[in-house]
Structure 1
């Protein structure tokens, strides 16, 4: 365990360590690691007793502790680390910080409060021998001072030496340093002030060798240490001189250079070759983890080879004129797939990802077919778009009872069929596999994701308007399918990047192309979109049901725990949202009996929209509520849900797009992605989803390329209820969004009883 956490990059070992030793085992190993690396300072308790505490911490240490504390409590973890730090250094010597029991030393409290920092000033003799003077400096002092303090101060420093670097104790009396001690100083965390006639500018970085020819994803590249003095790399002869040096100083380029044992080791160490994908990750990030240490990486022209996209015209067989951003998307996809690297086209919904992929299929002109995996509702759209924009291309639907595979053209299948027929698809030869609406495989452990990963192809492309709906793990799932190994294992990724940062952005950017409708030069012809939250009141019947359910269920929750409590919380949230929709929805009626604030407003909106020759999409997350609305709405209506057969879905879309039914009622999950419904100039969200990204995708069924009229989005929210509170939280970006977006409704099961009551209790409007 301790060996796992010895390296300077503690966070790299965290996932495996947690599995092996558990939370407190890792906490103990972390304390030992920090103490061994000198991250320990003397301090004084509030009541004046001497104590040891962990510190000071660098950024990497702090990141590690924060990540470890995600599995517990940060303050509790720090208290535990300090407790370990106070026990281990104490020995049998006399004086503060050494005795087995703490001493009462109030005179040391000011010294501790000043956060004294200890350092060494190294001097050299004419024959290049070394001596060190111990110095201390308060955090506010500009200059360190030589140690000539009280006996208690000297005792404290001797104790620091016992805990961090034993020669420190001797240096208080005798300043001479041996060569081995000088070498050790280079690898300790003690601050050292070196003399000006010595250079400490020798650094090591890892160098990735050039590809033998054009870069390919299946290349194996050399990976070795390179030492440099300042910015100038050492020659092979100089590297040999470093490796063979018998003293910790070497004469290089007319100056004396301090060389530690780690640099000597790296001067002769040969690193194992790495895969091209690993090399790309290291080159883009600018760093790599080698033997637990984070080191700088030099990549020569590798980054340029990945990020330089060549220009070429659109395929002649494409029966369409690509917009500039679509042509760039085609060139980028062709470049990445040509290198053997996958990619994710993550443009906003409605910006033409389908036509871009059709153009890519034509450009690649691969002898093997392209497999497109998509939701069932999009099979018809893909087939129509291919016939329209690439009329000479063979299209085969691999779906339904009499399905057969084709050897050319484009093969269309659904995620469900792919999962069932993974063996047959795996045995076929594919020139490219495309995952449309790739968020369907955002869970890498699902059967669907595993089936998709099992299908080999010369190129893999993901299409998704929302590659990150809920958490960064979804981004990992998509990119690890398109380019396996790019972001490391899922476990290592979650530990290294619990939150997005600049380094992650650098690694991801070449593999994910994201354009928004609002970006300059992208879809300037799109009309405006207006989003409005429409508050409605509960009826008397709704309010009575809401208060009764809240009172009864909160009482049950207060008397429950564990899974039973979580189940009750979810049941409460679902019931309250159903009551907000309509009493009949909550009570399970087959027809609407009575009314609700939402239903009254919906009727008014529909009358106005249809009277003005408009068309409207109505989204609800509940199929049961949609069935009730279908029986209630007077205007010609189509209703699409997850159980609608594919031919019927396509007919419904055609009816709506050609004005035969001005109202399209859709379940959010079944119709929130992929459909092209530009006939609609109004979108109504009858009930609110916990994740605004899902609502945005649904709205984009209407607000997409091809829309010529302004789009009005109406979001119905019941006043004074849980819906209003969630809407406000999400509107704020979503202060609770970190919890909501990571766990949906399940996030609320972890609220305390008081927090839950605050969230759900009915308030006067």
Structure 2
């Protein structure tokens, strides 16, 4: 697949490709873009095609192009969809713009309330590549984009002529010709010398109209609160108040305002602000007119029909216009849903005999589907009453439930179809994964026996554990036997799964026990295991240790033989080799494809991910300790590998789950996603003592290190130099400067020699080195071993000889430049040699896949600012087989960027994996002032 990128080029969309452009529309052009080249920014000429805004809207609306859109083009598609949404909601006004002496009729977006917030968020998220032609500020580029897309969308949607009558001629009034130009192919509005005052007056009036539409963007806004009626009445209260835009907790009811009480944060005349806001709001919700007839309005009373109108129609309009709206907690939720009940076709209680007989995905079960409103079942008569009354608000057992017309129609169809009968197990699982319909979601599942165990999302606790196979050379822990039972159960069904156990809980052992179990049962078919290159030896050795009865073939390197692929029980290969040898791998009838460290395929658009998905197999298994590192799209990608198509297309998943959960924190969507994926994902954590009670504690602590005077002077010099560069740059160049500044500051915090690369002595010049030396001496004196992680290979190369000389103990050094054989030798020595020692490791080369339980100390000398990455590295020691408490120390230089970023991560700990991302790029989006505060050197930094 060819990757296509997009750049905004002076009013047109420029398309360019990483290789030759595929067949796309547009006018050929050569653009000179500022792009990264050899870790630096440089002007690069690219062959491109330029599209008008109307052509761009068509291209960006294509959900399934025969080429792969880059991240920048996907961003532009989001902006285009947002512009179309503004049109659908009527959030635009006609205008008259002037540029270079020419006048044009244009449709302009109105951005108030939530739309203004969305604009700021879109500007902050803009990829630098979108503006790599000149690199103007993101806000300016986004304004141009929205103006162009909104105008193009409006012209496409509106009729050829807004007003009937004669077409205006050259002597017609300017206003008539402007009106005509709003829908014409040519937006130009011409005027004679005598008509210029008329043209200027028209533009002044239109600009005033546009400004008036944005009046709601004030520090204090009018807020409406809808209060549901008491159980014995049908009277809804719509209360009025003033609310701070920046601090919504500042909420002052109208009766307090009319009482004359002074409230800090409100305008000098809050009564005038309230009346003015109500005067604007009455145009969006006419029933407010009655309240405005009073001298001091505080509320208006509504019947149920009017309350529904407010909920469904007025409230969104008021919010979009910048007003505050507070609704009951149930408002906006899809309260009508389906309940699926299945019963096994078995005479034994609970259908347990079925599991003993063996199951298959074609096995039939009885099913019925009921309609639910909350926890209450809704009958057909109730639904027809709702349809007849045409007021989709119903009080069920004292609780109000809201429907919309589409839900109601879907519910009536479901009732009329008498949804009951027989269904296969595969169909049941598909129904659960699909989650029902968007208008009518699946809200509950009631199944008996083993199917109920599986669908409960707690299958490993409720399915009968499979005992450790006799040929398995080891003993599975109870939770691992339950995992084996779950894996074996899915395999018999022909269903894929995700084993997402925490790092160190033995995903490798559980997978190997599954293969041994199948061999003992006589149902062996070849399994292909795809993993990172660093894990090939680990898998081979673990197979030799636990499953010597399996025929294992490693398909990697120059000696690989395609003839052996179909003859082995287990074929181990790498992601890179799978891509290169895809044709040969597709020619084998695999029983199973396993992806280890499956986060490697979290991006479904990469060639590596597509290659693995293209290998046919009866079932698929994904192994990962981090099924979601940043975004829910990664979970979709891994699930789509394990069970292709089960969660639907990526676009549907994004609309139904990802956007509601990530953007709106929708609890209903989160519960629905958990229900949909629960049967296919098994996740256990080391910290859960019900899973593993004999794993020792992990003690995490910060080690605060001062800077030496030399480090402080270098640090300040870097800040002064880099802030000047950052302040005078924009776009990709600015982002590159920010990343360069962070790298240099972290190198200073490590050691002056790390930054200067001058080969100078190390002793006495770094607070971190001094503390590391002290800790290392204490560790080896106590007879212990330690892992020391650094993200910089050059720093590790400085540390290794220094520590070896001062400790008089072995200091091993593992980095990406070592051969596989040398890596294996180092790991084996560290694990088997009883002598106390230090193991220096490059974070990228050794952060995953290694078993280093001989260490009971872990030190992160310099931080890779992502908790998930650090935890993965720590789990090289904190995993099954570790008999002692593990002490984890994270070095932080006081008063520097390290301390401030650490504070940011701690404040966002719950969302750190998604907010921070896998690297440090998130920091490049901070403003220059925020960066200045982040980089600033505190006097307390110097020890």
Q: Same fold (TM over 0.5)?
A: yes
1:717-751 deviation per Cα after TM superposition (whole angstroms, max 9, x unaligned): 11111111112222344389377523631111111
Choose the corresponding residue for 1:498, options 662, 672, 681: 662
Counterpart position of 1:697? 872
Q: Aligned runs of 1:302-701 on 2, under 5 Å?
A: 304=452, 306-307=455-456, 310-311=463-464, 312-365=466-519, 366-404=523-561, 405-406=564-565, 407-491=567-651, 492-493=653-654, 494-498=658-662, 501-589=670-758, 592-593=761-762, 595-634=765-804, 635-659=809-833, 662-701=837-876
SS state at 1:716 partner: strand
Structure 1 contact 206–223 (Cα < 8 Å) conserved:
no
Counterpart position of 1:176? none
Q: Aligned runs of 1:232-311 on 2, under 5 Å?
A: 234=380, 267=412, 280=429, 283=432, 287-289=436-438, 293-295=439-441, 301=447, 304=452, 306-307=455-456, 310-311=463-464
Counterpart CA distance in 2 for 1:315 and 1:736 is 40
Counterpart CA distance in 1 for 2:903 and 2:844 is 23
Counterpart position of 1:11? none
Give how far 1:527 is off: 2.4
1:214-256 deviation per Cα after TM superposition (whole angstroms, max 9, x unaligned): 9877999999997789736559xx99x999x99999xxxxxxx
Task: Give the 3 Å change call, closer, same or farther, for CA 332–541 of structure 1 in structure 2.
Answer: same
Task: Give the 3 Å change call, closer, same or farther, for CA 547–410 of structure 1 in structure 2.
Answer: same
Counterpart position of 1:50? none
Give how far 1:508 is off: 2.9
Structure 2 contact 445–455 (Cα < 8 Å) conserved:
no
Give how far 1:364 is off: 3.2
Choose the corresponding residue for 1:71, options 122, 138, 142: 122
Counterpart CA distance in 1 for 2:120 and 2:279 is 35
Structure 2 contact 505–879 (Cα < 8 Å) conserved:
yes
SS state at 2:662 partner: coil
1:332-382 deviation per Cα after TM superposition (whole angstroms, max 9, x unaligned): 122223323222222222221111111111223443211122222222222
Task: Give the 3 Å change call, closer, same or farther, for CA 566–670 of structure 1 in structure 2.
Answer: same
Choose the corresponding residue for 1:753, options 906, 911, 928: 928
Give how far 1:65 is off: 10
1:444-479 deviation per Cα after TM superposition (whole angstroms, max 9, x unaligned): 222222222111222211222222233333323222
Task: Give the 3 Å change call, closer, same or farther, for CA 136–409 of structure 1 in structure 2.
Answer: closer
Counterpart position of 1:125? none
Counterpart CA distance in 2 for 1:712 and 1:262 is 55
Counterpart CA distance in 1 for 2:770 and 2:410 is 78
Counterpart CA distance in 1 for 2:410 and 2:440 is 16
Q: How many pairs align?
A: 633
Counterpart CA distance in 2 for 1:753 and 1:457 is 52
Task: Give the 3 Å change call, closer, same or farther, for CA 424–588 of structure 1 in structure 2.
Answer: farther
Give how far 1:318 is off: 1.6
Q: Aligned runs of 1:174-253 on 2, under 5 Å?
A: 231=377, 234=380
SS state at 1:605 partner: helix
| 4+ long deviations beyond 6 Å | 64-69, 100-103, 116-120, 153-159, 184-191, 207-230, 245-249, 258-262, 273-279
Counterpart CA distance in 1 for 2:644 and 2:856 is 41
Counterpart CA distance in 2 for 1:119 and 1:679 is 63
Instruction: Tell me whether 638-647 or 17-26 shows the greater mean CA deviation.
Output: 17-26
Structure 2 contact 738–924 (Cα < 8 Å) conserved:
yes
Counterpart position of 1:707? 882
Counterpart CA distance in 1 for 2:879 and 2:370 is 51
Give how far 1:681 is off: 1.7
Counterpart CA distance in 1 for 2:364 and 2:310 is 34
Name the Cα RMSD after superposition.
5.0
Counterpart CA distance in 2 for 1:732 and 1:118 is 35
Instruction: Tell me whether 691-700 or 528-537 shows the greater mean CA deviation.
Output: 528-537
Task: Give the 3 Å change call, closer, same or farther, for CA 402–219 of structure 1 in structure 2.
Answer: farther
Counterpart CA distance in 1 for 2:675 and 2:389 is 41
Counterpart CA distance in 2 for 1:755 and 1:537 is 23
Counterpart CA distance in 1 for 2:935 and 2:76 is 40
SS state at 1:531 partner: strand
Instruction: Tell me whether 546-555 or 483-492 shows the greater mean CA deviation.
Output: 483-492
Task: Give the 3 Å change call, closer, same or farther, for CA 463–763 of structure 1 in structure 2.
Answer: same
Task: Give the 3 Å change call, closer, same or farther, for CA 652–185 of structure 1 in structure 2.
Answer: closer
Counterpart CA distance in 1 for 2:426 and 2:910 is 37
**5+ residue gaps, structure 1:** 6-14, 34-52, 81-87, 89-99, 104-111, 121-133, 142-152, 164-180, 192-202, 250-257
Structure 1 contact 204–225 (Cα < 8 Å) conserved:
no
Counterpart CA distance in 2 for 1:439 and 1:24 is 34
Task: Give the 3 Å change call, closer, same or farther, for CA 101–318 of structure 1 in structure 2.
Answer: closer
Counterpart CA distance in 1 for 2:750 and 2:211 is 65
Choose the corresponding residue for 2:88, options 29, 43, 48: 29
Counterpart CA distance in 2 for 1:589 and 1:641 is 22
Give how far 1:287 is off: 4.9
Structure 2 contact 338–440 (Cα < 8 Å) conserved:
no
Counterpart CA distance in 1 for 2:831 and 2:210 is 82
1:139-184 deviation per Cα after TM superposition (whole angstroms, max 9, x unaligned): 389xxxxxxxxxxx99999985799xxxxxxxxxxxxxxxxx99x9
Structure 2 contact 814–823 (Cα < 8 Å) conserved:
yes
Instruction: Tell me whether 378-387 or 274-283 shows the greater mean CA deviation.
Output: 274-283
SS state at 1:434 partner: strand
Structure 2 contact 497–642 (Cα < 8 Å) conserved:
yes
Counterpart CA distance in 2 for 1:488 and 1:448 is 21
Give how far 1:72 is off: 5.7
Instruction: Tell me whether 726-735 or 374-383 shows the greater mean CA deviation.
Output: 726-735
SS state at 1:633 partner: helix
1:108-139 deviation per Cα after TM superposition (whole angstroms, max 9, x unaligned): xxxx979497999xxxxxxxxxxxxx988443
**5+ residue gaps, structure 2:** 1-56, 62-73, 93-109, 126-141, 148-157, 159-208, 213-220, 242-277, 289-304, 316-334, 346-353, 392-402
Counterpart CA distance in 1 for 2:749 and 2:697 is 30
Instruction: Tell me whether 733-742 or 323-332 shows the greater mean CA deviation.
Output: 733-742
Counterpart CA distance in 2 for 1:159 and 1:518 is 53
Give how far 1:265 is off: 7.8
Q: TM-score, with normalisation over the residues of structure 1?
A: 0.70
SS state at 1:478 partner: helix
Structure 2 contact 432–442 (Cα < 8 Å) conserved:
no
Counterpart CA distance in 2 for 1:408 and 1:694 is 34
